[in-house]
């Protein structure tokens, strides 16, 4: 009888013990910095999580700083990400590494971009956290590849895809998804206003687009 009672108590404690939440940190630039604001993609993911009654499983944290490139992420990741003991880190970076080449004459060379990105992955893996990678979506929304930096952006997205493949990491391919979306919803070949407000940063539709894509991959991560 005592054994049955002990088993029942243990079962009760385990069944009703609060479940540890998976802490998901979104690591990136100004797009991620804005993602925690009302209507931002991180806020929308949190809302969808609650609607699907999964809020007991996930905690979402933004770690975005405007203007950041891949080497900025590497330099601040210890304090801004790893010290917070994340279960999942979603890396969403790359647009400034390309965009700033024409804006400010800076940017990141492809070989350095790849090396720094791999270094970021190595440190996150060493911490024991899972990783999701995202490709930058756009520097201009024209669908005929006449945006000034389409060539470079596609090259850097391919680098991200290859790094992900090499490390067996899932990818939220926002670049591919945005191109497919705009082919259907941008018949006038506008450079902004479909998913972005200024060719790069997300408008309301863009935030929902990113939220849907990321949330799907987060839920499927084992």
What backbone torsions phi and psi does residue 199 show, to the nearest 5 degrees?
Answer: 90, -20
Question: What are the pLDDT digits (tens) for 148-164?
Answer: 999 999 999 999 999 99
Contacts of 61 (CB under 8 A, 6+ apart): 23, 24, 25, 26, 84, 86
Mean pLDDT value across residues 179-194? 97
Q: Which one of 3.40.50.620, 3.40.50.10860, 3.40.50.1110, 3.40.190.10 gives the CATH number of domain 20-220?
A: 3.40.50.1110
Residue ranges covered by each domain of the chain: 20-220
Report d(CA 72, CA 125) in Å as an integer. Answer: 18
Q: Which residues pair with 92 in a beta bridge?
A: 28, 134
Residue 11 scores a pLDDT above 50? no
Query: Can you tell me which residue has the tokens 């990741």?
Result: 77
* Residue 27, both tokens: 């690591």
**What integer pLDDT is reported at residue 3 of this predicted model?**
59
**What integer pLDDT is reported at residue 13 of this predicted model?**
40
**What integer pLDDT is reported at residue 106 of this predicted model?**
86
pTM for the full model? Answer: 0.90
Residue 12 scores a pLDDT above 50? no
Burial (CB < 10 A; 0-12, 13-18, 19+), residue 151, is: exposed
Q: Which of 5-14, 48-57, 76-85, 158-167 has the lowest mean pLDDT?
A: 5-14
**What integer pLDDT is reported at residue 103 of this predicted model?**
75
**What integer pLDDT is reported at residue 7 of this predicted model?**
52
Mean pLDDT of the chain: 93
Q: Where does the pLDDT of residue 61 fall: very low under 50, low under 70, confident under 90, or very high at 90 and above?
A: very high
Question: For the sheet containing 22-28, what is the strand order?
Answer: 58-64, 22-28, 88-92, 130-134, 171-172
What backbone torsions phi and psi does residue 142 show, to the nearest 5 degrees?
Answer: -60, 140
Mean pLDDT value across residues 12-31? 77
């Amino acid at each position: 009888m005592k054994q049955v009672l002990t088993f029942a108590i243990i079962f009760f404690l385990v069944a009703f013990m609060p479940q540890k939440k998976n802490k998901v940190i979104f690591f990136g630039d100004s797009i991620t910095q804005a993602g925690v604001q009302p209507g931002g993609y991180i806020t929308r993911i949190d809302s969808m999580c609650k609607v699907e009654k999964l809020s007991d499983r996930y905690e979402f944290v933004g770690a975005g700083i405007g203007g950041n490139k891949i080497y900025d992420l590497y330099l601040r990741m210890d304090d801004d990400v790893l010290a917070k003991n994340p279960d999942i880190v979603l890396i969403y970076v790359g647009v400034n590494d390309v965009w700033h080449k024409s804006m400010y004459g800076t940017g990141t060379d492809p070989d350095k971009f790849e090396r720094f990105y791999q270094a970021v992955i190595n440190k996150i893996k060493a911490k024991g956290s899972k990783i999701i990678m995202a490709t930058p979506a756009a520097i201009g929304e024209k669908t005929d590849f006449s945006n000034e930096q389409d060539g470079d952006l596609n090259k850097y997205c391919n680098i991200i895809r290859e790094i992900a493949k090499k490390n067996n990491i899932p990818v939220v391919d926002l670049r591919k998804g945005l191109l497919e979306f705009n082919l259907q919803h941008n018949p006038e070949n506008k450079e902004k206003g479909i998913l972005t407000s200024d060719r790069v940063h997300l408008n309301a539709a863009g935030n929902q687009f990113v939220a849907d894509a990321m949330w799907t991959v987060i839920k499927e991560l084992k």
